[in-house]
Chain A
Amino acid sequence: MTSSSHVLEIDGLTKTFGERIVVNDVSFEVRRGEIFGFLGPNGSGKTTTIRMALGIIKPDSGSVRVLGEQPDRKLLNRVGYLPEDRGLLRKVRVMDIIRYLGRLKGLSSSEAEERGTELLHRVGLYQHRTKKVEGLSRGMTQLIQFISSIIHEPELIILDEPFSGLDPLNVQLMKQMLFEQRERGATIMFSTHIMSDVEELCERVALIADSRMLLYGSIDEIKRDRGASAVRVRASDIPASLLNGRAKPADGVMEFEINEQRSSESILREFLDAGIAVEQFELLLPTMNDVFIEEVTRARYLS
């Protein structure tokens, strides 16, 4: 096991397909033990970046280090990968395919079967172990592929859009299992464009759009850097100038958007000028959804 604090280092990756630049100078690092979100709209270059990180395709320029070393097949046996375009051989039985993928990652046949059995119990699919894949639902197949990607207890788990196509119960189950994997000591990186998942799971993120990096850092820092986007006020009354036709809330709590015409200070001053006692005045940071929309929209406008 490497002692490096970074388990994945992406430095200046660039890739073109024909005339089209699909990844343009993308750099970020994933720290040991964290859950890292790799964000971007559809077609932004997330999957191509992941494929380059895993050596599936070769970058035009830039470098990748996995677990502190240049990635090779032996090293990649310490990595688990769930691709975006998912599927398994339809005519093969569930346990056979789990055992096969486990053995490819260096497990013995009995180890793969033992761990496969545990994981099938964990996702509630043990009773389907002898069924052929074609007899399973899409969600079940996705869970089988997910447990196949973690069966060898990898140090780094890379998941490309892991929650797409799953029902809310299975999304919750997979999230729990990801937390369990992190508890075990694994580092997790997943790509997504669903920001609620990011807020729930990640400490740090990288955001790309149209092949370029837009943001990189911890979620808290990104939000703080943007400053408050609104204020929440609890007061005995609301100044008429702030109501703008809205009805007074029964509980006395109201949120006001901060923009160029109205700062948080000016909102507070209006309460004080109206002689209304303020019980609570809270600055609200933007959500990751707000950040995502703002950053991607601005990048597309500029390009």
Chain B
Amino acid sequence: MRVISPETQVILTEEFRRQIHRRSWQILTALVPFALLVALVAVPAVRGAFDDDEPVNRLNRIGYVDNAGVITNFGLQGGPREYLNRPGGVQGLVSGEVDALFIIPDDYLQTGSVQWLRGETGVFSDDSLGSQFIGFLTRELIAGQVEPQLLERVISPAAFTVFEVGDDGIVVEEPPDAQQAGEFFVPFIFAILLMVAIFSGSGSLLQSVADEKENRMIEMIITSATPLSIMAGKVFALGAAGLIQVTVWIGSAALLGPLIIDQVPNAGELSVELDLLATVLLLFIAGYFLFAVIMAGMGAATTSVREASQISAIITVPAVIPVWLSSLLVSQPDGTVARVLSFVPFTAPTTILIRLSAGNVSPGEVAASLAVVVVSGFALLWVSARVFRAGLLLYGQRMSLKNVWTALRQAD
């Protein structure tokens, strides 16, 4: 038994060929790998410019004048440079030997006052040298007076492990920040990508259907294929193009992501759970399918490309609503608004994606929402085919509800 008819296969392959030859599809597909490549190059450069997590390396850019005599271990390799007096330190600062000069006055132990001299900083001042000097000074003040272990605790007093207590009293350890970041960004980024893909891909499908109708080529095609075959071929072709797009995005992320993460300190454990990734993918594909069907139906109902383009702008609004409400959805992922939008077919995919980024959504709820989207998609595909059939009778007429209804009744 054939899953799809031969004419659907022909339409699918032709439409797929046209989709992947579209400049906008190619640009959008290449966008993620390109952005990742840019990140791969940019992260080390940015890190070199702004990183404040390597005090040893920056300490040698610090100079000081110790009038209070509190620093004894100044011979530290790669540590701050001592100047004997203020003019000497200023000279070192001006000549570029150091980036910051700290003057510790005679009464430091009584007042805690320290002067910080630095060059012109412009808008973005680098305050990291101050905190590094404090770390250095702390160590100098108590070194030799306490146990080394205690010294380390004074320098770094607490490394938190955070637990979340649910309404039911169950205590769960929160995942590391890096994993949380992954769990937030992956669904959220896919929600945004879904929107962009909907605007780009399904918009072109609407254009394609309206174009074939407007130039009446459809009259030749309709003698070879049923409206349902035509609609299904076009929608599945767009789906296949979308699937390739997502595969390229995920493939490039899997390939380049670890290389980028290696460049980020403390990001070694950045990870995304596989079931989350699978859920996100399913939602993306289901949402893409639903909007492709809607766009195809609108293209079928309109009588010109211009009219179709105007209507497409209205149709994509539901996909954007959850993004507009994203702050509400993130702060109240289990709120009434979030739950309602999760079961409205047009808003469900984006809403669930955003809710997933904010926290856990029960598997049952995700499955029910997916079912709503997929069933609505197939139902709308059938309706689109009928509208498409009826639309053939509306050639040259204005698309009013009355006209569409009359044509729908006349279509078999």
Q: Which residue of the partner chain, among A58, A81, A89, A106, contacts B211 with CB atoms under 8 Å?
A: A89
A76 touches B224 (CB 8 A): yes
Q: Nearest A residue to B411 by beta-carbon distance?
A: A58
Known: A57-B393, A88-B215. A149 touches B226 (CB 8 A): no
Residue positions of A touching B, CB distance < 8 A: 17-18, 51, 54-58, 73, 76-77, 79, 81-83, 85-90, 92, 96, 100-101, 103-106, 145, 148-149
Known: A89-B212, A92-B18. A101 touches B220 (CB 8 A): yes
A148 touches B225 (CB 8 A): no
Count residues of chain B with CB under 8 A from any CB of chain A: 28
* Cβ contacts under 8 Å, A148 to chain B: 220
B223 touches A79 (CB 8 A): yes
* Cβ contacts under 8 Å, A77 to chain B: 224
Known: A18-B406, A58-B410. A85 touches B395 (CB 8 A): yes
* Smallest CB separation, A255 vs chain B (Å): 45
Known: A55-B223, A73-B224. A104 touches B18 (CB 8 A): no
B7 touches A85 (CB 8 A): no
Q: Which residue of the partner chain, among B17, B217, B219, contacts A89 with CB atoms under 8 Å?
A: B217
B223 touches A76 (CB 8 A): yes
* Cβ contacts under 8 Å, A90 to chain B: 211, 215
A148 to B392, CA, bound (A): 21
Contacts of B356-412 to chain A: CB distance below 8 A: 392-393, 395, 406, 410-412
* Cβ contacts under 8 Å, B220 to chain A: 81-83, 101, 145, 148-149
* Cβ contacts under 8 Å, A73 to chain B: 7, 223-226
Q: Which residue of the partner chain, among A17, A86, A100, A149, contacts B10 with CB atoms under 8 Å?
A: A100
Q: Nearest A residue to B229 by beta-carbon distance?
A: A73
A136 to B55, CA, bound (A): 70
Whether B306 is near chain A, meaning CB under 8 Å from some CB there, is no
Q: Nearest B residue to A107 by beta-carbon distance?
A: B10
* Smallest CB separation, B15 vs chain A (Å): 10
* Cβ contacts under 8 Å, A145 to chain B: 217, 220
* Cβ contacts under 8 Å, A92 to chain B: 18
A73 to B8, CA, bound (A): 12
A272 to B221, CA, bound (A): 66
A77 to B222, CA, bound (A): 11
Residue of B18, B217, B225 with highest tally of chain A CB at under 10 A: B217
B219 touches A58 (CB 8 A): no
A104 to B11, CA, bound (A): 8
A-B contact pairs, 16 of them (CB 8 A): A55-B223, A57-B410, A58-B410, A58-B411, A79-B223, A81-B223, A82-B220, A85-B216, A87-B215, A89-B211, A90-B211, A90-B215, A101-B221, A101-B224, A104-B11, A104-B225
* Smallest CB separation, A279 vs chain B (Å): 56
A103 touches B10 (CB 8 A): yes
- The list of the 8 closest CB pairs from A to B, nearest first, reads A87-B215, A85-B216, A83-B219, A104-B224, A58-B412, A103-B10, A76-B223, A100-B14
* Smallest CB separation, B233 vs chain A (Å): 10
Give the secondary structure class of B's interface: helix
* Smallest CB separation, A56 vs chain B (Å): 6
* Smallest CB separation, A22 vs chain B (Å): 11
Q: Nearest B residue to A133 by beta-carbon distance?
A: B215
Q: Nearest B residue to A99 by beta-carbon distance?
A: B14
Contacts of B182-224 to chain A: CB distance below 8 A: 211-212, 214-217, 219-224
* Smallest CB separation, B394 vs chain A (Å): 10
A54 touches B223 (CB 8 A): yes
Q: Which residue of the partner chain, among A79, A82, A104, contacts B221 with CB atoms under 8 Å?
A: A104
Contacts of B126-161 to chain A: CB distance below 8 A: none
B392 touches A57 (CB 8 A): yes
Q: Which residue of the partner chain, among B6, B217, B412, contacts A88 with CB atoms under 8 Å?
A: B217
A83 to B219, CA, bound (A): 7
Known: A57-B393, A73-B7, A89-B211. A105 touches B217 (CB 8 A): no
A125 to B211, CA, bound (A): 24
* Cβ contacts under 8 Å, A55 to chain B: 223
* Cβ contacts under 8 Å, A79 to chain B: 223
* Smallest CB separation, A120 vs chain B (Å): 17
* Smallest CB separation, B59 vs chain A (Å): 63
A85 touches B219 (CB 8 A): yes
* Cβ contacts under 8 Å, A85 to chain B: 216, 219, 395
Q: Nearest B residue to A97 by beta-carbon distance?
A: B217
* Cβ contacts under 8 Å, B211 to chain A: 89-90
* Cβ contacts under 8 Å, B225 to chain A: 73, 104
Q: Nearest B residue to A54 by beta-carbon distance?
A: B223
A85 to B211, CA, bound (A): 14
A172 to B113, CA, bound (A): 103
Known: A87-B215, A88-B215. A56 touches B223 (CB 8 A): yes
A207 to B216, CA, bound (A): 25
* Smallest CB separation, A73 vs chain B (Å): 6
* Smallest CB separation, B308 vs chain A (Å): 15
A17 to B225, CA, bound (A): 24
Q: Nearest A residue to B222 by beta-carbon distance?
A: A56
A96 to B395, CA, bound (A): 26
Known: A57-B392, A58-B412, A92-B18. A87 touches B217 (CB 8 A): yes
Q: Nearest A residue to B207 by beta-carbon distance?
A: A91
Residue of A83, A104, A149 with highest tally of chain B CB at under 10 A: A104
* Cβ contacts under 8 Å, B215 to chain A: 87-90
B410 touches A81 (CB 8 A): no
* Smallest CB separation, B44 vs chain A (Å): 43
* Smallest CB separation, A159 vs chain B (Å): 12
A202 to B412, CA, bound (A): 34
* Chain A proximity mask over B36-64: 1 for CB below 8 Å, otherwise 0: 00000000000000000000000000000
A39 to B226, CA, bound (A): 29
Contacts of B77-114 to chain A: CB distance below 8 A: none
